[in-house]
Amino acid sequence: DTEVTQTPKHLVMGMTNKKSLKCEQHMGHRAMYWYKQKAKKPPELMFVYSYEKLSINESVPSRFSPECPNSSLLNLHLHALQPEDSALYLCASSQGIGVNTQYFGPGTRLLVL
């Protein structure tokens, strides 16, 4: 099973709202990722958790706050977002050591009004 699941599929939020995106994998992977993707662009890396510790933060604004409760779950907490944050947010996972073949979820399409 190479499935990464994400909820919700769609999210509309105002600039003062607080919301969370959720990601889950049951492949035994120990690295999990958040990416942001704008239309007709490749995914941009935001955060990497390796063995449940934050290992990469690509200078993402503090209005995005990641959390890794356990090795299967990854959350992205959103607060006071801007309209330019509207995008497809993708979660991915990989084994965590050696070969970095990443498996992506279907994404959450976020619209900030």
Partner 1 sequence: QKEVEQDPGPLSVPEGAIVSLNCTYSNSAFQYFMWYRQYSRKGPELLMYTYSSGNKEDGRFTAQVDKSSKYISLFIRDSQPSDSATYLCAMSLYGNNRLAFGKGNQVVVIP
Burial of 81 (0-12, 13-18, 19+ CB in 10 A): buried
Contact code string over 24-63 relative to partner 1, x by CB under 8 A: -------x-x------xxxx-x--x-x----xx-------
Centre a 10 Å sphere on the Cβ of residue 83 and count the other Cβ atoms it contains.
9
10-13 vs 108-112, strand pairing mode? parallel
Which one-letter amino acid corresponds to residue 106? P
Beta bridge partners of 49: 32, 54
Q: How many chain residues bind partner 1 (CB under 8 A)?
A: 29
Nearer to partner 1 by Cβ, of 1 and 16: the residue is 1
100 lies in the site for partner 1, by CB under 8 A: yes
Is 23 a binding residue for partner 1 by CB under 8 A? The answer is: no
Q: Is 104 in the site for partner 1 (CB under 8 A)?
A: yes
CB 65 within 8 A of CB 54: no
Q: Is 2 in the site for partner 1 (CB under 8 A)?
A: yes
Work out how close the CB of 48 gets to partner 1 at its nearest, in angstroms, rounded to a whole number. 5
